[in-house]
Amino acid sequence: MQKDNQAKFDDYIQERIKQEGLDQPSMNFTNAVISKIEAQKQNKVLEYKPLLGKKTWYAMAVLVIGIFVFLIYGNATMEFNWLPSNLTEQWGQINLLSKLPSLSVSNIYVYAFIGLAFFVMVQVYLLKNHFSKHYYID
């Protein structure tokens, strides 16, 4: 039953195509399409805009340098008047690094990690060059 419906539908479509005929594009259709594509290419200029501007980077650099200068030359003693004194003394006695387990790594693991990191960086460099050469978008 479904094949009969499909056959009837195909016959109907073929009959409609014969009656209506196929549309023919104009003689310069390809040239018109290419000229529109070229016009759109020239209108779109991709401009690089960084997320953080130069003024922001300069302000952050000045802030970091100012903090370092203050820590080196300034008076870095701080008083917490709003905390009880015994609580600040207890916080000063906490040594989290002593609670960490000691981790000993043999030299072979260190060399293996350095080698792996080196070859991963080489692979990234080679893949970047490959993709930038073969998949360049004009």
Q: Where are the domains of the chain?
A: 49-94
- CA distances (Å), 9 to each of 12, 20, 22, in order? 5, 16, 19
Taking the C-alpha atoms of residue 82 and residue 55, their distance in angstroms, rounded to an integer, is: 37
* Residue 118 burial (CB count, 10 A): 10
pLDDT of amino acid 62:
96
Convert the pLDDT of each residue in 46-99 to its tens digit. 677 888 889 999 999 999 999 888 877 776 666 656 666 666 677 667 777 777
pLDDT of amino acid 19:
83
Taking the C-alpha atoms of residue 69 and residue 122, their distance in angstroms, rounded to an integer, is: 39
Question: Percent of the chain beyond pLDDT 70?
Answer: 78
Taking the C-alpha atoms of residue 60 and residue 52, their distance in angstroms, rounded to an integer, is: 10
* Residue 67 burial (CB count, 10 A): 11
Tell me the DSSP string of 36-70. Answer: HHHHHHHH-------SS-HHHHHHHHHHHHHHHHH
pLDDT of amino acid 39:
78
Taking the C-alpha atoms of residue 5 and residue 2, their distance in angstroms, rounded to an integer, is: 5
* Residues 6 or more apart whose Cβ sits within 8 Å of residue 76: 70
Q: Is the pLDDT of residue 114 over 70?
A: yes
